[in-house]
Amino acid sequence: MTDSNSSPTMILDGKEVSFEPGETIYDVAKRSEIFIPTLCYDPRLKSFGSCRMCVVELKGSKNPVASCTTAATPGMEVQTSTEAIEKFRKTLLEMVVSENREVEVSPLRGIASQELSLLVDRYDANHGRFQGKHSGHSNLDDKNPFILRDYDLCISCYRCVRVCAEQEGDYAISVMNRGFHTQITTEFNNDLRDSQCTFCGQCVQTCPTGALADKKALRHS
């Protein structure tokens, strides 16, 4: 319900909450101190909705919706953590970790490097339930002195690609191929030194798995 003197409202986990036009379900939940997990989300970047960890149940919708890309609308009713949604999130995490060489990595790899491992612990995601092909191949031969490119840990969230483009305007890194052949790369698949990279470190600090890491910090650990 709305009137000319009040903010619009929605029902979030059974409670009526207000929101501002332009906010997403995720924005409203976060401000209401309701936890919704994410892996591809960075508040500095445009919402992407690729990881699907943030899906919620929306009354009237046949399928769950990504809360980070779905705008809040007056009167909508949302459940953020039903049994079905939590089961979906756990299964999704188990699929994600099935592709990674390891989940527990040094926090010195980057500010966000623990995000995946924290969610795996929270949901008690089984590391061995799924087995199969892996995507992303590390480029440990890149001789630049700053950034470790350990793509065996990559989950294709594209946060590194997007922060490079949206925040730095460098477009130094991109994505090639699809499916299990997906690979984070540079123009012509060259080393970072031969790209537009300025070694600002933003890609390292947004990576939720430590696939991109601070070589200097690791050397001095």
Q: Which residues of 149-178 are buried (b: 16+ CB within 10 A; e: fewer)?
A: bbbbbbbbbbbbbbbbbeeeebebbbeeee
More confident of the two residues 219 and 89 = 89
- Taking residue 2's Cβ as centre, other Cβ atoms within 10 Å add up to 11
pLDDT above 70: residue 219: yes
The SS3 call for residue 24 is strand
pLDDT at residue number 117: 97
pLDDT at residue number 187: 83
pLDDT above 60: residue 3: no
Token pair in block for residue 164: 């490079």
Q: DSSP letter string over 156-217?
A: ---HHHHHIIIII----EEEES-GGG-EEEEGGG--GGGSS-----HHHHH-SSSSEEEHHH
CB 153 within 8 A of CB 100: yes
pLDDT digits (tens, 9 = 90+) for 16-25: 999 999 999 9
CB 150 within 8 A of CB 212: yes
More confident of the two residues 209 and 188 = 209
pLDDT at residue number 188: 83
pLDDT digits (tens, 9 = 90+) for 166-192: 999 999 999 998 888 899 999 888 899
| Range of lowest pLDDT (5-9, 24-28, 57-61) | 5-9
pLDDT above 70: residue 2: no
pLDDT above 80: residue 220: no
pLDDT at residue number 124: 94
CATH topology of domain 9-81: Ubiquitin-like (UB roll) (3.10.20)
pLDDT at residue number 5: 61
Enter the CATH code of domain 105-219.
3.30.70.20
pLDDT at residue number 221: 65
In whole angstroms, give the CA distance from residue 136 to residue 208. 15
Confidence of residue 118 (pLDDT cuts 50, 70, 90): very high
| Range of lowest pLDDT (12-21, 53-62, 127-136, 184-193) | 127-136
Report the mean per-residue pLDDT for the chain.
Answer: 92
In whole angstroms, give the CA distance from residue 201 to residue 177. 25
- Enumerate the domain spans of the chain: 9-81, 105-219
Task: Output the pTM of the full model.
Answer: 0.90
In whole angstroms, give the CA distance from residue 125 to residue 11. 30
